[in-house]
Amino acid sequence: MTPAAFFSGYVTIIGRPNVGKSTFMNHILGTKISITTAKPQTTRDRILGIWNDPDTQIVFLDTPGIHASDKALNRYMLDKAVSTISDADIALVMADHLDTPETLLQVAGFVQKARKESFLVLNKVDLMSESVACERLERLGRVYDFTYQCTISSTLGTGIDDLMAQIRKRLPEGPRYFPEDMITDSPMRFICKELIREKVFTLLQKEIPYAVAVEIEEYREEAPVLIRAAIHVEKDSQKRILIGSGGRMLKEIGTQARRDIEDLVGERIFLELFVKVTRDWSKNPKSLKDLGYK
């Protein structure tokens, strides 16, 4: 008897910052493996999410939002996003209600260069009337020769089953790249530092989230799990804001991050946070590497 065919492939999700790429991937996987916030430029690395069923494996690549900036960190982020395109079987070009043909072209241009099969996915359709969504999709769809285009809502789940069916239809026959019970290749240490960074993004404003990098200095796995993490900022003034009056802000970051990490590891943990000033780390390629952006 010949074995049943197996289909697999890589699907990258690219788009402007904040269009909902990470929310979409978390929705598909049914679990939060990529942090999401209301602020742009939340995701800084390529985050891999693996979707399985008995005859298919889809490896999604969540990526940093595509935007132009000269800062070393932003160049790193752009490179992480763009480099996923050549590995992908399909590129999902994601847009939201703020995209115009001009902004979309900046993203689609990278797909065009790589000559990749590409879908246009207009997210946040819950924020638009049906007629506006149709008109927008039609206008954005003229930017590139997309093989498929659709509207979805990643928060409500609208349109996602149809999109998944279209992806599956176009996957080549191929191997199971990752074990069936694996959902991501991100180590627990990485997910923990991202969850801490997510709380900084949510609780602090202006330039602070963009001046923060989190480093796990100790991760003791034996119970009780102990995690010691340094939150790096670029200036003394940022350190003062991050700690907050009477240490209240740092405590709140710790409380919220600890809850999320406990949900993830399924047991009580001890989380120790402290703040370090690493001057201009986001502009300095060596500091970037030291802080895990390599």
Ligand X SMILES: Nc1nc2c(ncn2[C@@H]2O[C@H](COP(=O)(O)OP(=O)(O)OP(=O)(O)O)[C@@H](O)[C@H]2O)c(=O)[nH]1
Q: How many other C-beta atoms are found inside a 10 Å radius of the C-beta of residue 158?
A: 14
Task: Find tokens 């790096």 and name the residue.
Answer: 232
The Cα–Cα gap between 220 and 230 comes to: 15
How far from 25 is each of 59, 103, 221, 256, CA to CA, in Å?
Answer: 10, 22, 28, 22
Contact characters 50-89, ligand X, x per CB under 6 A: --------------xx------------------------
Tell me which of 8, 12, 43, 118 binds ligand X, using CB under 6 A: 43
Nearer to ligand X, 117 or 126 (CB): 126
CB 186 within 8 A of CB 29: no
The number of beta carbons lying within 10 Å of the beta carbon of residue 255 is 11
Does the footprint of ligand X cover residue 21 (CB under 6 A)? yes
Shortest separation between residue 19's beta carbon and Mg ion, angstroms:
9
Interacting partner of 32 out of ligand X, Mg ion, none (Cβ under 5 to 8 A depending on kind): none
- Tallying the residues shown for the chain, one arrives at 294
Q: Restricting to residues 36-65, which ones interact with Mg ion according to CB under 5 A?
A: 42-43
Joined together, the tokens standing for residue 207 give 């330039």
Interface residue with ligand X among 40, 101, 141, 292 (CB under 6 A) is: 40
Binding partner of residue 238 among Mg ion, ligand X, none, CB cut-off 5 to 8 Å per kind: none
Structure tokens that stand for 25 in this block = 């991937």
* Closer of 42 and 56 to Mg ion (Cβ): 42
Kindly give, in sequence order, each residue whose CB lies less than 8 Å from that of residue 79, ignoring residues fewer than 6 positions away. Answer: none
Based on the shown chain and the rule CB under 6 A, indicate whether residue 38 belongs to the binding site for ligand X.
yes
**136 touches ligand X (CB under 6 A):** no
- Report the chain's terminal Cα–Cα distance, integer Å: 47
Q: Which stretch binds ligand X (CB under 6 A): 49-57, 149-157, 174-182, 187-195?
A: 149-157
In three-state secondary structure terms, 280 is coil
d(CA 197, CA 109): 31
Category of 280 on φ-ψ map: left (φ > 0), alpha (ψ -120 to 50) or beta: left
- Measured in whole angstroms, the distance separating CA 239 from the mean position of its chain's CA atoms is 26
Residue with tokens 């969504």: 133
Given the complex with Mg ion, which of 82 and 249 has the nearer CB atom?
82
- For residue 242, give the amino acid letter: L
Applying CB under 5 A, among 22, 41, 154, 184 the residue interacting with Mg ion is: 22
- Binding of ligand X by 184 (CB under 6 A): no
Name the residue nearer to ligand X (CB basis): 14 or 72. Answer: 14
Give the interface segment with Mg ion, choosing from 21-29, 168-176, 226-234, 281-289 (CB under 5 A).
Answer: 21-29
Q: Which stretch binds ligand X (CB under 6 A): 114-122, 129-137, 151-159, 200-208?
A: 151-159
Confirm or reject binding of residue 103 to ligand X (CB under 6 A): no
Q: Which residues bind ligand X (CB under 6 A)?
A: 15, 17-23, 36-38, 40-43, 64-65, 123-124, 126-127, 153-155
Q: Which residues bind Mg ion (CB under 5 A)?
A: 21-22, 42-43
